[in-house]
Amino acid sequence: MKRVVAVFAAFAVVALLTVAAQAGSKGEQIFSQKCAMCHVIKGKGGAIGPELTKIASKMKENDLKVKLENPKKTNPNSSMPSFKTLPKAEMDALLGYLKTLK
């Protein structure tokens, strides 16, 4: 019986790690679909907006969220579109990815 529990626990850990790994890459995917045409990260992307390779050393998570929901708040002339309508799960995944860019 103990062995069955141990095997089950091992499976659960693997499943959790897989989910965590996908959460990271989901944010990256959203970035490449919605942001990369204007922003460079690690040498790839468009030049309309500033490079974001080290954005997390400059902006905190909450500042990033404010920027994404209302780009004109910090820059009235901003040509960046608002991402206010992004589903919460996607916003969280995206912020999780941006936070790693230091």
Gap between the terminal Cα atoms of the chain: 47
Among 49, 82, 96, 99, binds ligand HEC (CB under 6 A): 49
Among 23, 26, 38, 90, binds ligand HEC (CB under 6 A): 38
Count residues binding ligand HEC (CB under 6 A). 23
Query: Per rule CB under 6 A, is residue 96 in the interface with ligand HEC?
Result: no
Half-sphere exposure of 36 (CA within 13 A, CB side): 13
User: Which two tokens mark 26?
Assistant: 């989901």
Cβ atoms of 64 and 98 within 8 Å: the answer is: yes
Question: What residue ranges bind ligand HEC (CB under 6 A)?
Answer: 34-35, 37-39, 48-50, 52, 55, 58-59, 64, 67-68, 71, 75, 78-81, 83, 98
